[in-house]
Amino acid sequence: MKTNIQPTVTLIAIITGWFVACSTLAQNVTTNSLVIHADQGKVAISKNIYGQFSEHLGHCIYGGIWVGENSPIPNTRGIRNDVVAALKKIKVPVLRWPGGCFADKYHWMDGIGPHEKRPPIINTTWGGVVENNAFGTHEFLDFCEQIGCEPYICVNVGSGTVQEMMEWIEYMTSDADSPMANLRRENGREKPWKVPFVAVGNESWGCGGNMTAEYYADNFFRYNTFIQDYAGNNVYRVGSGGLEADYHWTDVLMKRSNEQKNHGGRQMDGYSLHYYTLSTGSWPPKGLATNFTEAQWHATLRYALRMDEFINKHSAIMDKYDPQKRVGLIVDEWGTWHDVEPGTNPGFLYQQNTLRDALVAGITLNILNQHCDRVKMANIAQLVNVLQAMILTDKEKMILTPTYHVFDMFKDHQGATLLPSELTCEDYASGEQKIPGLSVSASKDKSGAVHVTLCNLNPTHSARINCELQGAKAGEISGQVLTAAEMNAHNTFEQPNVVKPEPFKEVQLAGGGFVATLPPKSVVALELK
């Protein structure tokens, strides 16, 4: 009997091969869905969530921003032109200064008047180096004007006085014929500046004076009483928070603020939260910025996601005293904190910045956007050459970090209305630990364009995402993607463009929404019109 077995075997082989190929493919692609309610936005994302922080620490100020008028590095009144141009591009809305821990040792009068008369001091907090006070109030406020942002000043409570703070505010913001306003005029500035944000001390539980919540609350309201609103300058007053998980501190401050209201006193406007992402979850050792395993990648992103937990828990306490959400949660220090680069001053907190940092930035900004009903400002630490910086400089050279590019890609969310969204995504697991594989936020700007920012946390799997856009129909879609072949890809002075945004092609409109495939370990920003 003749059997025709050969074609059957061939067919089985083809089908088996096809299944194997499909299942391999399926192993490397996750399947996810998203619903965006384009007609249900209620709350604006404060542009100040995209704020920055600059401290007299390492080469943030000196070398990073300030080079002096006589420097061969192109500058305007001593401030680097390349840094200003880069910061204008990402639309920095607000800049916090002079610290950080430095703020509670800073005496502002050391930093005004002719440069040669300014007294040098020792920066005992950061590296024990000489601080010559070349960069003071005028230089900082000039820098803010050059980049087009608002200043956020942290006043000295730990080693300062109420009088010193009162005089500083008068110096900067009064247009009267008064001693401090006249001193400012003598120093070359006729018009007062606007200083809309003032923080009363920094980390007053620690470097700001090792206070208890109750003692700090007394101090906050004492200082607050003497903050004067001059010449139409209405100061938003920010109280120092406790450690990230110190909920007692939040309770004490919020309760006291309410009592002020009942006594007709001026309340606290903002309450600060600091949270740093450490890849080991402890310090030390924190691990190097550029040398890590996939398990450390996973742990870093897992720790970054805890921002959501801290905001939820502090907000719940704030809601108890302030259901109207009048007091803003001000996340005025956040970002990754790695070990310093080998061979650099441990007190300068200089670290490289990789694709992993970009993911932390993307995840955190999505969380902050999602909490825009309570979070009214955030300031990543720090602007240049310190911690999770936007910019690294080496003498005349400057590079933009992956984190800078995330701020650039997310900038359309500034001032736009948050759109409610529901994400159903696969987990990204490492050992016993699981985290969501994707992060998202969406907003609608004044022109009606919808902006969606997505992060694929998984470094080995692409993410297919099916998005339904409810309440709107998009006719056009475009986007940018930030990714690289390696988890630790980063830009250097020799190779400044290893990690930079590229046009995103793996997306198409589908049924009024879109279908996209995000590469592994990527940040994607989409615009739908």
The piece of 93-101, 139-147, 369-377, 464-472 that touches ligand AHR (CB under 6 A) is: 93-101
Number of residues that bind ligand AHR (CB under 6 A): 10
Q: Is 272 in the site for ligand AHR (CB under 6 A)?
A: no
Residue 202 as a binder of ligand AHR (CB under 6 A): the answer is: yes
Matching residue, tokens 């406790």: 242
Check binding of 353 to ligand AHR (CB under 6 A). Answer: no
Among 333, 339, 408, 412, binds ligand AHR (CB under 6 A): 333
Return the axis-axis angle of helices 247-262 and 294-321, rounded to nearest 10°.
30
Active-site residue (options: 131, 150, 203, 244): 203
> In this complex, which beta carbon is closest to ligand AHR, that of residue 246 or of residue 468?
246
Contact 237, 269 (CB under 8 A): yes
Stretches 24-32, 41-49, 95-103, 513-521: which one binds ligand AHR (CB under 6 A)? 95-103
Q: How many residues does the structure list for the chain?
A: 529
Can you tell me which of 41, 51, 58, 99 binds ligand AHR, judged by CB under 6 A?
Answer: 99
Q: Is 519 in the site for ligand AHR (CB under 6 A)?
A: no
Instruction: Retrieve residue 248's tokens.
Output: 């007692």
Give dist(CA 368, CA 403) in Å, integer: 16
The yes-or-no answer on residue 203 being catalytic is: yes
339 binds ligand AHR (CB under 6 A): no
Cα of first residue to Cα of last residue in the chain, in angstroms, is 68
357 binds ligand AHR (CB under 6 A): no
Taking CB under 6 A as the rule, does residue 104 contact ligand AHR?
no
Does 170 interact with ligand AHR (rule: CB under 6 A)? no
Residue reference for tokens 């955030």: 378
> Quick check: 213 and 240 in contact, CB under 8 A?
no
The distance of closest approach from Cβ of residue 470 to ligand AHR in the complex, given in angstroms and rounded to an integer, is 41
Identify residues 382-441 at the interface with ligand AHR (CB under 6 A). Answer: 382, 387
Judge residue 327's burial from the number of C-beta atoms within 10 Å of its C-beta, 0-12 exposed, 13-18 middle, 19 or more buried: buried
State yes or no: is 190 an active-site residue: no
**Closest residue (Cβ) to ligand AHR?**
100
Residue for token digits 């987990």? 427
Stretch that binds ligand AHR, among 109-117, 362-370, 381-389, 479-487 (CB under 6 A): 381-389
For ligand AHR, which is the closer residue by CB, 21 or 243? 243
Q: Which is nearer to ligand AHR, 382 or 401 (CB)?
A: 382
Closest CB to ligand AHR among 202 and 366?
202
Asked whether the beta carbons of 113 and 138 are under 8 A apart, the reply is no
Asked if residue 454 lies in contact with residue 526, where contact means CB atoms within 8 angstroms, the answer is: yes
Pick 131 or 333: Cβ nearer ligand AHR: 333
User: Looking up tokens 């650039």, which residue turns up?
Assistant: 408
CA pair distance 299, 306, nearest whole angstrom: 11
Least distance (Å) from ligand AHR to the CB of residue 426?
A: 35
Binding region for ligand AHR (CB under 6 A) out of 99-107, 299-307, 315-323, 463-471: 99-107
Nearer to ligand AHR, 202 or 315 (CB): 202
Q: Which one of 94-102, 176-184, 219-227, 474-482 is the stretch in contact with ligand AHR (CB under 6 A)?
A: 94-102
Q: How does DSSP assign 195-243, residue by residue?
A: --EEEE-S-TTTTTT---HHHHHHHHHHHHHT----TT--PEEEE---S
Determine the residue type at 177.
D
Pairing of β 51-53 and β 94-97: parallel
- The residue among 55 and 269 lying less far from ligand AHR, judged by its C-beta, is 55
CB 485 within 8 A of CB 479: no
Q: Is 154 in the site for ligand AHR (CB under 6 A)?
A: no
By CB under 6 A, residue 55 contacts ligand AHR: yes
**Interface with ligand AHR, residue 244, by CB under 6 A:** no
Q: Smallest Cα–Cα separation from 276: which of 327, 203, 328, 347?
A: 203
- Tell me how far the alpha carbon of residue 183 is from its chain's centroid: 35
Beta strands 51-53 and 375-381: pairing type?
parallel
One-letter amino acid at 53 equals: F
Phi, psi of 8 (to 5 degrees): -65, -45
Of the candidate residues 104, 167, 170, 203, the single one contacting ligand AHR (CB under 6 A) = 203
Please report, as ranges, the residues that interact with ligand AHR according to CB under 6 A.
55, 99-101, 202-203, 333, 381-382, 387
Q: What residues are annotated to the active site?
A: 203, 333
